[in-house]
């Protein structure tokens, strides 16, 4: 059981997200503080009953967090948290699944539009003060999305909303999810992950919005990329390791697919020497798909819901992991 509201101490730990001012506006009366780096977290984690954290977490912190009862992840991904470690310490864990449904689905749609409308090239030409002329080669012109087939790998909340957006552009949507019986939502059909490679030759665009699991790591490998149309685009708004990096680099260098929109990479920040920076027809955003001006408040909504459940002694948390 966590302490009552007037005895509770919350620690927000993130390199950029500023939670304290937004939390103060809610007038909860809960004591809180924020740390901006791992060093300060290491020094002060022992003060916290509740930790709101994502990338700063290291399992070794559990030994220093004597008061810790609950961790609210700032992100939807929780693979950095050792379940066994937290269970042994009696610490509950919940993800922030759903916190960035609108943001990530809209970003994925933006990457699709950017590639189809050749916006990265237009921006590059603007920097060079170059006005590109009209193009006779149909394969090199900007394209329309209507009638295109979009395969969405991961038809959860984010993938489901991306499907809705795609239908507004008159696209055919094929969903791929771990459990097809969970429903197809706005998609025209839904299939198991085991069927993905047979679906790839149909795709004009493949969008990844799935979590990183043992089943999805390296899901898009050389074989999968080789099954895609030469005119197809790959969009990765999931996790970097869902795509085999070496295979993607070779695919883009050879022009085996038309383009890639990448928001996530296996190593982040992406090293300056990475070949990904200079791949032809590749558009990179720095893992910003989930970031919006509403992000902190979206996390705090989930946090307050879970605190209320903990105070009531409820067994089930929102987005419970442990």
List own/partner pairs for 185-193 with CB under 8 A and 24 or more apart.
185/155, 185/160, 186/160, 187/152, 187/155, 187/160, 187/163, 190/155, 193/153, 193/219
Rounded Cα gap, residues 97 and 56, in angstroms: 18
Per-residue tokens: 303 = 């946090």
83 is catalytic: no
Q: Is 127 a catalytic residue?
A: no
The per-residue DSSP string of 102-145 comes to HHHHHHHHHHHHHHHTTHHHHHHHHHTT--------GGGS----
Query: 246 and 279 in contact (C-beta within 8 Å)?
Result: no
The whole-angstrom separation of Cα 266 and Cα 34 is 28
Q: What's the rounded Cα separation, in Å, for the pair 227 and 234?
A: 12
DSSP for residue 264: -
CA distances from 65 to 45, 204, 233 (A): 5, 49, 46
Annotated catalytic residue 63: no
Please identify which of the residues 92, 107, 177, 239 carries the catalytic annotation.
Answer: 239
Q: Which of 142, 195, 215, 268 is catalytic?
A: 268
The catalytic position among 38, 102, 178, 287 is: 287
Task: Report in angstroms the alpha-carbon separations of 208 from 20, 24, 36, 240, 253.
Answer: 33, 36, 31, 10, 21
Contact (Cβ atoms closer than 8 angstroms) between residue 104 and residue 237: yes
Any idea which residues carry the catalytic annotation?
A: 239, 268, 287
């Amino acid at each position: 059981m966590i302490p009552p509201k007037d005895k509770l101490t919350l620690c927000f730990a993130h390199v950029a997200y500023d939670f304290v001012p937004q939390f103060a506006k809610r007038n909860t009366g809960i004591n809180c503080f924020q740390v901006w780096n791992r060093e300060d977290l290491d020094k002060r984690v022992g003060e916290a009953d509740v930790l709101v954290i994502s990338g700063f977490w290291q399992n070794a912190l559990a030994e220093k967090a004597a008061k810790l009862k609950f961790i609210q992840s700032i992100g939807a991904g929780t693979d950095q948290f050792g379940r066994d470690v937290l269970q042994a310490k009696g610490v509950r864990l919940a993800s922030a699944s759903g916190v960035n449904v609108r943001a990530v689905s809209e970003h994925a749609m933006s990457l699709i539009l950017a590639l189809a409308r050749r916006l990265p090239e237009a921006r590059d030409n603007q920097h060079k003060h170059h006005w590109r002329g009209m193009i006779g080669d149909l394969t090199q012109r900007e394209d329309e999305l209507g009638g295109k087939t979009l395969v969405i790998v991961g038809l959860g909340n984010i993938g489901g909303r991306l499907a809705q957006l795609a239908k507004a552009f008159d696209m055919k949507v094929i969903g791929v999810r771990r459990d097809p019986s969970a429903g197809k939502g706005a998609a025209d059909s839904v299939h198991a992950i085991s069927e993905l490679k047979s679906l790839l030759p149909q795709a004009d665009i493949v969008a990844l919005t799935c979590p990183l699991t043992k089943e999805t790591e390296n899901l898009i490998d050389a074989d999968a990329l080789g099954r895609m149309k030469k005119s197809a685009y790959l969009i990765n708004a999931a996790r970097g390791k869902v795509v085999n990096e070496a295979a993607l680099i070779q695919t883009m260098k050879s022009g085996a697919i038309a383009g890639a929109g990448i928001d996530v990479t296996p190593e982040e920040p992406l090293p300056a020497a990475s070949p990904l920076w200079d791949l032809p027809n590749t558009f990179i955003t720095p893992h910003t798909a989930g970031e919006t001006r509403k992000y902190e408040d979206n996390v705090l909504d989930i946090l307050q819901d879970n605190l209320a459940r903990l105070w009531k002694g409820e067994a089930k948390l929102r987005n419970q992991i442990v």
